[in-house]
Chain A
Amino acid sequence: MESSAEQNIVNIEINDISLQVEPGQMLIEVADANGVAIPRFCYHKKLSTSANCRMCLVEVEKAPKMLPACATQVMNGMKVWTKSPKAIAAQKSVMEFLLINHPLDCPVCDQGGECDLQDIAMGYGGDQTRYQERRRIVKDKDYGALVSTEMSRCIHCTRCVRFGEEVGGIAEIGGTGRGDHMEIGTYVQKSLSSELSGNIIDLCPVGALLSKPFLYSARAWELQSYLSIAPHDAVGSNIKIQTRNGKIMRVVPADNEEVNESWISDRDRFSYLGANESRVTSPMVRNSSGNLVETNWQAALDTVIKSFTEIIATDGGSAVGAIASPSSSVEEFYLLQKFMRGLGSNNIDFRLQQQDFSAGAEQSAPKLELSLQEIETQNSIFIIGSDIQREQPLLSHRVRKATLAGAVVSTINPKTIEFNFAISTSVKTDKLTPALAGVAKELLSRGLGGDLNLEQLLTDGAVNIAVEAEHKEIADSLVNGENSMVLLGALAYRDQNQSRIYSLATAISKMSNSSLNIVTEGANALGGVLAGAVPYHSAGKVEVSECGVDVAEMISNPPKGVVLFGVEADKDLAGDDSAIDSLGSGFVVAITPFMDRLTYEHADVVLPLAGFGESSGTFVNAEGRWQSFSGAVKPLGEARPGWKILRVLGSSAELQGFELDSSEQVLNEVKALCDVTADKSEPEISNWSAPTDLGNIEAEMVKPIPLYEVDAVVRRSAPLQEQAKKLTGGVDDV
């Protein structure tokens, strides 16, 4: 064993095969990496080791007893047998113990067919029971609208408990009692409140915790899986959409260590339940008596083209505009802007919740400078205006992991926002700008200003900026942290003072040598900018000769013809109802999967758009990662994928460059324009200049959008809404 001198290699033997492995690993990890199957229930690669199920017992040379592989570290010269008669005997007796109290109700249990206990019992279980006594029965718990419980099935592996503590961040579930009287449940009888709670369904190795909406609706073996990307936040979680008979039955996570690890948020998991509510299933045109009537695609498209050409002929291209959902795919953004620009209009926008557009083209694309994985390694994190835990649950999980590793987090947020990780300094305020300016001023006073020219603004300026003790602490932590990051969230993005806030945050990150990370809204805001769905530039940031108008301008001064693409105008757009209604004054083409109020009352043509899981596309997540997905089911009724609708619109308007046959072709065209290497867009260096004023420094921060109100699909998912009601309703039904 010469190599053992090198400290970082350990020689072990598993089942007489010698392996060289890194020290510090557990036996089970080594076995997994080398394709040796060891049965297990409590071990999970993403959770801490509890070693309480004992299913993974293996024989180790010179050890007097069998050792649990999940809690035994590899040691030099170790000889392990996982299938020796002794090991098998031990595993079999553990199995017998586990099966004593587990009900034999596999036929009615939804886990049947994908159950660890069932599978392992096939290998290690006896075919007869020696147990004559009564089995224990445990009362079911109410975990809320998303997770169903059948607690007699629980084998006390404590995966769910550990998940709650380690990942969910709230110790809601725990074991009470001991031995035969142990019960897993919520300590206080209430619904689970974690926004990641659905993951315990996947974690539970038996059928004790199941998906409530999916209950009894399909068997694991009947489902077809399609890889896809979750469309509700900028993380771009990898999901599997599972279908049966062309219907989406459920959504489960797909592992991707770099993005969502093994988890998805409840929003991503249960949103599919809203995908078919109040759908538009055929094209509609408003007739002379003002009613929407169903028609065929050709007629509907002709109406659009005819009206648009009329408008353009009389008022010019700039009389039309388009508003897209920030969760549209890259392909859709690209074709939509191509269509609008082909018509001679640069009025296109997707930044629905933004109020302040004064930064204009200077604002760079909303992007994380770090990768999601790198967030875990930060020592100091400064969160500005973000309910990150609810906005981007899995990004927040990375922040939480950083805090567990010792990072300090500081925030500037409204009072109401609380997080599941420790915060060292929090400025609770309703006004973002002064607090941020305070931090910037503090950094400036430490002589870090460099050539940023901020003195004029912060010290000699008209407004007197107070530097509070907390601002100093934040500055301290940012400057002292070896790796520090500034994170701007949706509240900063939606603020009336957005451009000033972004400038200040950029300045702060420059002065403190931190990375600047921005997340905004929707699943594909970055993709929207890259694909050119903004008034200032077309795809690949090619500047346009004449800037178009932004979404706020389009609402206050509605264009004569407007395309609403995937937007549920009365809920998605910032602004009050009457302002939004004024959008309906012109000729409105609603390309939408859902019927909503504005569409119903004002749209002149409604084109049914494919909904969740129904079309292929690409999202660029906050890191700049381009992730493509394909459709899992056929679009409902007459609905068509967005890129097809736009392509046909483009060619019926006799525009150039719409001869595209597949979404890949569209994607390749965008990628070629955007200079994408290895499916990753690199952060861009924006030209930064000091703002000349601080805008309306007294501007109040906007309210965060509730967790389950973020987009049209989520709003229509009944179980999510029920869960939201349970969590906010105050009174929990016990």
Chain B
Amino acid sequence: MDKLIRLIKIWTLWELFQGLGVTGRNLFKKKFTLNYPEEKAPQSPRFRGLHALRRYENGEERCIGCKLCEAICPAMAITIEVAPRDEDSPESKGEVNGAGKSHNYGNRRTTKYDIDLFKCIFCGYCEEACPVEAIVETRIYEYHFEKRGENIMSKEDLLKIGDSEESQLATDLEVDGRFR
């Protein structure tokens, strides 16, 4: 009996038509292929792209060098050096926020903040560990390196990204803030 059914299926090209049926259905469906780079996929506010370091409104960098991101990073991609910074130094912009502020010893600030993008696995733990929302991951995912060494993002690079992305970052954090 089974044999007979199989023979009929073979001779009527049943399975071929079954397959073509799927093709036919999808042929007239709405397409979701994007014409990248002209078109881009929508992004969640939690998108984890290139990193950035943020500043406060008065221009003072947020990062206080607590090294929690360095400690939590599973890929050990972050390297931080910290030193006290004089409150009167040119980098101390305007009113300091009080974090790490001490009249006797200056502020706790990083002197070096490097992320190795070759190591980074974009897990977003650094962002979660950060007590002051300084290190964040932006929506930027289009970048490339041409030379060895460019994969290491320095503090200046990260701050620059933060400056240009600030409005987006602020809105995203605002949206996501409800769930934290």
Contacts and interface: CB of A to CB of B under 8 A. Distances in A.
Interface of A: 105-108, 112, 140, 142, 148-150, 212, 215-219, 221-222
Given A108-B66, A217-B82, A217-B83, A142 B108 contact: no
Given A107-B64, A107-B68, A216 B103 contact: no
Contact of B100 (A108, A219, A221, A222): A108
A150 B105 CA distance: 10
Contacts of A112: 66
A645 B120 CA distance: 44
Interface string B72-104: 000000000011100000000000000110111
16 contacts: A107-B64, A107-B66, A107-B68, A108-B64, A108-B65, A108-B66, A108-B108, A148-B102, A148-B105, A149-B104, A215-B84, A216-B65, A216-B105, A217-B82, A218-B82, A221-B71
Contacts of B68: 107
Nearest to B81: A217
Given A105-B99, A148-B104, A150-B102, 16 more contacts: A106-B66, A107-B66, A108-B65, A108-B66, A108-B108, A140-B102, A148-B102, A149-B104, A215-B105, A216-B100, A216-B105, A216-B108, A217-B82, A217-B83, A218-B82, A222-B67
Interface in B14-51: none
Nearest to B132: A107
B71 A219 contact: yes
Interface string B94-131: 00000110111100100000000000000000000001
Given A107-B64, A107-B131, A108-B99, A140 B84 contact: no
A221 B83 CA distance: 17
Contacts of A217: 82-83
Contacts of A148: 102, 104-105
Contacts of A218: 82
A574 to B, nearest CB: 40
A683 B165 CA distance: 74
B145 to A, nearest CB: 25
A108 B68 CA distance: 10
A112 B131 CA distance: 13
B99 A107 contact: yes
Given A108-B99, A140-B102, A216 B67 contact: no
Name A's interface SS.
loop
Q: Which 9 A-B pairs have the closest CB atoms?
A: A107-B66, A108-B100, A107-B131, A108-B108, A216-B108, A216-B82, A216-B84, A219-B67, A108-B64
Contacts of B105: 148, 212, 215-216
Contacts of B64: 107-108
Nearest to A152: B102
Residue in A215, A216, A217 with the greatest tally of chain B CB atoms within 10 Å: A216
Given A215-B105, A216-B108, A105 B84 contact: no
Nearest to A148: B105
A112 B99 CA distance: 14
* B: interface residue count bin: 10 to 19
Nearest to A143: B104
A212 B65 CA distance: 17
B100 A105 contact: yes
A215 to B, nearest CB: 6
Contacts of A216: 65, 82-84, 100, 105, 108
Contacts, number: 43
Contacts of B103: 140
A107 B66 CA distance: 5
A141 to B, nearest CB: 9
Given A107-B131, A108-B66, A219-B67, A142 B104 contact: yes
Contacts of B100: 105, 107-108, 216
A219 B65 CA distance: 10
Contacts of B108: 108, 216
B57 to A, nearest CB: 20
B31 to A, nearest CB: 49
A215 B64 CA distance: 13
A144 to B, nearest CB: 11
A499 B104 CA distance: 51
Contacts of A142: 104
B135 to A, nearest CB: 12
Nearest to A107: B66
A298 B99 CA distance: 54
Contacts of B102: 140, 148, 150
A105 B100 CA distance: 8
Contacts of B99: 105, 107-108
A429 B130 CA distance: 64
Nearest to A149: B104
Contacts of B67: 219, 222
A130 to B, nearest CB: 21
A216 B99 CA distance: 13
Nearest to B83: A216
Contact of A140 (B71, B104, B131, B132): B104
Contacts of A149: 104
Nearest to B84: A216
Nearest to A221: B71
A215 B107 CA distance: 10
A219 B71 CA distance: 10
Contacts of B83: 216-217
A108 B65 CA distance: 7
A384 to B, nearest CB: 43
Contacts of B71: 219, 221
A140 B99 CA distance: 16
B83 to A, nearest CB: 6
Nearest to A139: B103
Nearest to B79: A245
Contacts of B131: 107
Nearest to B110: A216
A142 B84 CA distance: 17
A112 B82 CA distance: 14
Contacts of A108: 64-66, 99-100, 108
B151 to A, nearest CB: 21
Contacts of B84: 215-216
A149 B66 CA distance: 18
Nearest to B63: A107
Nearest to A104: B131
Contacts of A150: 102
A102 to B, nearest CB: 16
Contacts of A212: 105
Contacts of A107: 64, 66, 68, 99-100, 131-132
Residue in A107, A112, A148, A221 with the greatest tally of chain B CB atoms within 10 Å: A107
A89 to B, nearest CB: 29
A107 B82 CA distance: 12
Contacts of B65: 108, 216
B97 to A, nearest CB: 11
A212 B64 CA distance: 18
A175 B99 CA distance: 27
A215 B65 CA distance: 12
Contacts of B66: 106-108, 112
A354 B102 CA distance: 48
Nearest to A112: B66
A150 B108 CA distance: 13
Nearest to B67: A219
